[in-house]
Chain A
Amino acid sequence: MDVDEVRKKREEWDKKCLRPFLEKSGERQEKFENLSWIEIDRIYDPSDIEHLSFTDDIGYPGDYPFTRGVYPTMYRGRLWTMRQFSGFGAAEDTNQRWKLLLKEGQTGLSTAFDFPTLMGLDSDDPLSDGEVGKVGVAIDTLKDFQILFDGIPLDKVSTSFTINPPAAIILAMYTAIGDAQGVPRDQLRGTIQNDMLKEFHAQNTLVLPPEPSVKVITDIFEWGVENVPKFNLISISGYHIREAGSTAVQELAFTIADGMAYVEAAIERGIDIDKLAPQLSFFFNSHNDFFEEIAKFRAARRMWAKIMRDEYGAKDPRSWWLKFHTQTAGCSLTAQQPLNNIVRTTIQAMAAVLGGTQSLHTNSFDEAWALPSEEAVRVALRTQQIIAYESGIPSTIDPLGGSYYVEWLTDKVEKLAWDYIERIRKMGEGSMLRGVFAGIENGFFVKEITNAAARFQREVEEGKRTIVGVNKFTIEEQLKIPILKVDPEVQRRQIERLKKVKAERDNVAVKEALDWLRSAAENDENVMRPILEAVKAYASVGEIMGVLKSVYGTYKKPIII
C-alpha cells in the first residue's frame, strides 16, 4: 500500500467529510482517553502503523516475535484451559467443590488458600483468628493436602496454586502427594505462583525481605528444572499490580521487569536459561478497556521474545514464548447491580481470548459481596464456554492482527512499557534484578501504582469516568444474591486436626528436618530438599516458615500512601 496515497485520501476525507460534519455536530468529548490515559484518536489508518514491519513486528503465530500467539494453531488446535480459582473452608469442602467443577467440564484446578496459609501461618496462630478457611482453603500440614487431593489423580489434572511466601512448601506437598500416588515427578503438571516481587509492589503478602525471597525462589527454580520439569515454577504476575490500581502499561512493564529480574537471578545461580524458560509462566489481568487489553497481551509476547532471545541469549525458540494465564478484573466488579458483572466479565474474557491467553479464570458476578456461590461460579464458567463454543472467536488466530488501531495500540503500549523498563534498569545500574530491588526499597513501584489508583478514583468521583450502576444509571435495589457462607466451625476443626497431626507424627523426624532446613538456609544452600523432607514428616507450614523467618528475618514495607 502506498502510504502517501493514504495520506492524501485522509486529508481529503478530513476536509470534505469530517470537518463539515464536526461543525454541525461535535463529538461527545473533547478528548478520548483509555484506562492508561493514552489519548485515542478518532480513527487509525495505514499511516499510523507505517513504522511497523509485518514480518518483523507482526508476523505469524508460533514464530518470532510471537505477537500473534505462541502456537502455530492456537485455539484451532486446543482451546485455552478454563481454570476457575476456588477453595474455601477445610480441605474436604474444597475437595468436593473441585470434584463438582471437574464434572462441570473444567479442565484444570486452581487453588485459593486462606490468608493464614498465604502468609505462612498455622491455623492456631493468634494472628489467624477469624481468617481460617475464609477466603480459601486452610492448609497446615501434608494431612490437609491428602484430603484436598483425595480421589484426584495428579497425572490427569494440572493444578495451579496461588501461593507465594510458602510456595516452596506447597510445591513440596504436591510432590509428596504425587510420590504417594505413584505418579513420576516428571509427569506432575501445574503452577505455583511463587512471585514475591509483585507482592512487594502490590499484593502485600509479605514475609521474608526481598533478597532472601528471591533466593528461595531461585532455589525452587534450581530444584524444579531437575525434578518437576513439566511444572510451572513461577507465575510472574501483573494481575495484582493491576488490582492495586495500576494502568495496563504499568502492569505490563512491572511484570516484564520482574520476569527479567528472576531470569537474571537464575543466570547468576548458573541455571541453564533454556532449561528454565519453559517453566516460567505469566499471569495478567483483563480489565474493561477491550482493545487496550488485547494490545497489552500482544505487546507482552513481543517484548518477552525480544528479551529472552536478544538480552539473555536463550537459544531454544520455546524459551522465547510468553505463556500466560488471565483472570478478569476483580476490581472492576461492582456490588451494585451485580448481574452487570456478567457482562463486564464477558467483555474481559473475550479480550483475553483475542489476546491469546493459555488459560483463563472468569470472575463470578457476586464476588464484590463474598466468595462466589455455586450458581455464580457456573455462570462464570459458562461464559468461557460460550466464547469457546458459540462465538466463533477461536476459529481463526489473532483476528484483530492487522487492525490499524490494535497494531498502533500494541506498539504504543509496548513503547511506554519499555520506557518504564529502562527507568528500572537505570535504578539498578544496568541490572534489572538490582533495579527491581531498588524500586521496592525506594517505593518507586508503590508510588506509581498508588498515584494511578488515586487518579482513577478522582475521575470516578468527578464523573469523568462512568461506572455503570455506580455513578451513572443507578437504582435503588434490594439484593438477593445467595451467598456462600463458610462454616464458622472450620477454624475449630482445623485447629483440632493440626493438634492431632502434631501429636501423632514423629517429632524427632520433624526436628531433624527443620534443623537440616535451618542449616541449609544459614549456609546459603538450596532449601527445597529439606523442605520436602520436613513436609513428608508432617511439619506444619508455620513451622517451616518459622525457620526461614528466623534465618532470613521478616520484612517491613516502606509505606507510601
Chain B
Amino acid sequence: MDVDKIVEGILSGNKRALARAITFVENEYPEGKEILKRIFPKTGNAHIIGITGFPGVGKSTIVSKLTQEFRARGKTVGIVAIDPGSPFTGGALLGDRLRMDGLDSSKKLWIDPGVFFRSMSSRGRAGGLAAKTGDTVRLMDAFGFDMILVETVGAGQSEVDVIEVADTSIVALMPEMGDDIQINKAGILEIGDIYVVNKADLGGAEKTERWIKAMLMMDQEAVEILSKTTHAQEYEVQTGRIFDKISRAGWTPPVIKTVADRGEGIPELADAIEKHFEYLKNTGKLLETRKHRLSREMIEILVQEIKNYLKKTDKVNFQEMVEKVSKNDLDPHTAVEKMMKSILKDYKD
C-alpha cells in the first residue's frame, strides 16, 4: 500500500489503511510523516479520552464497557492501548485487547465495524504512553472516530503523559487505595478531569472517594482529618498543587463509583465524559489546550528536525563545534549562533 492509497483509505473508512498507517508512523518510516501531513486537515473532531491508573484497578474493563456504552449511544470508538515493552529485549506482550468482551454473542466489540483497537508497546519509554501515541490518535481522528480512548501502560509509574494527548483525563482507582503515599508520589492524582473508583462493590469505596475529594480540596472536613495524619506534609504539597490546577480549570472533577465488570456506573461515567467535553467546548478551553499542546508539539518537532539535520548535513560539523567549546576556543552560545546561521542558509526540504 502506498501513501496515496493509505491516505485515501483512511479518509474513506478503510481499517486496513488505518492499521498500516499506524505501523508506518510507529516505526518512523518516511511514509508515516507524509501520511500525517496529508490527513492533518481532517483532524480535530474526535473527543480524546485518556485513562490512567494503577495496575489491577480494571482499566481495560472500564475501557471495554465504556466502548460498549458509547456504541450504544451511536458513537464510533477508536482505542489505543499501551502495554509496557522491555527496554532490554525490545519484546512486549500486548494483553489489553483480550480483555475486550468474551464468548458472549451479545457483545461483539472485536468485530464491531464502529470500533478499532490498536495495541502498542511503550518500547521502554516512561510516562505511560508509547512515543507515537499522539500521532496514532491523530490518524484515528482523521479516520473519523467520534471518541478515542487511550489506555496507559498502568505499571504504577508516573503515567502523566496522557494529559499531553487527551482532552479528558480519567484517573481510575479502587477501594483501599488511598492513604498510600506511593500513589501520591506517582503524581497521577493531579491530572484527573474525572476520577473513577472501580470495584466499588469491594467495600471501602466511600473512603477512597472522600480521600480523592480531600486531595482535591473539595471536602474541607476531610482535609482537616488528613492534615492530622503522619503524612500531612506530603499531602500539603500535593493538595497545594492540585488546588492550583482546579482553580485554573473551573471544573469540579466528579468522583464516580463503578463496578465495571457488571457495567455499574458506566453510563454515569460516560455522562461525565460527555459533560466534560461540553464544558471544554463552551468555555473555549478545548481550543486553548489543544493550541497549547500544538505549540509544545511544534517545538518538539523543531528540535527533532534540527537534530535530524545535524545528523545528515556536511555544512555543519557538530562534533567539531563540541571540540572547540570543550577546549574553551568558543563558548556554547556563539557556537550555536554560528551553527544556526549555516543551518538557516542551507535548510531546504
Binding site for B on A (CB under 8 A): 127, 554-556, 559, 561
Contacts and interface: CB of A to CB of B under 8 A. Distances in A.
Given A555-B102, A559-B98, 9 more contacts: A127-B103, A554-B102, A554-B103, A556-B101, A556-B102, A559-B95, A559-B99, A561-B93, A561-B95
A203 B185 CA distance: 41
Contacts of A559: 95, 98-99
A554 B104 contact: yes
A554 B105 CA distance: 11
A127 B103 CA distance: 9
A5 B99 CA distance: 63
Nearest to B104: A554
A69 B148 CA distance: 63
Nearest to A206: B103
14 contacts: A127-B103, A127-B105, A554-B102, A554-B103, A554-B104, A555-B102, A556-B101, A556-B102, A556-B104, A559-B95, A559-B98, A559-B99, A561-B93, A561-B95
Contacts of B99: 559
Give the dominant DSSP class at A's interface: loop
A554 B99 CA distance: 14
A399 to B, nearest CB: 48
Interface of B: 93, 95, 98-99, 101-105
Contacts of B93: 561
A559 B97 CA distance: 11
A437 to B, nearest CB: 13
A554 B261 CA distance: 11
A559 B105 CA distance: 20
Contacts of A555: 102
B167 to A, nearest CB: 30
Contacts of B104: 554, 556
A315 B269 CA distance: 55
B324 to A, nearest CB: 53
Nearest to A555: B102
The 7 A-B pairs with the shortest beta carbon distances in the complex, nearest first, are: A556-B102, A559-B98, A561-B93, A554-B104, A561-B95, A559-B95, A559-B99
B60 to A, nearest CB: 9
Interface centre among A127, A556, A559, A561 (most CB of B within 10 A): A556
Contacts of A554: 102-104
A555 B102 CA distance: 8
A30 B9 CA distance: 62
Nearest to A556: B102
Contacts of B103: 127, 554
B284 to A, nearest CB: 42
Contacts of B101: 556
Contacts of A556: 101-102, 104
A559 B60 CA distance: 11
A314 B97 CA distance: 48
Nearest to B58: A558
A451 B95 CA distance: 17
A554 B98 CA distance: 16
A46 B253 CA distance: 71
A263 B95 CA distance: 36
A73 B98 CA distance: 53
A57 B282 CA distance: 78
A338 to B, nearest CB: 33
B103 to A, nearest CB: 7
A554 B103 CA distance: 8
Contacts of A127: 103, 105
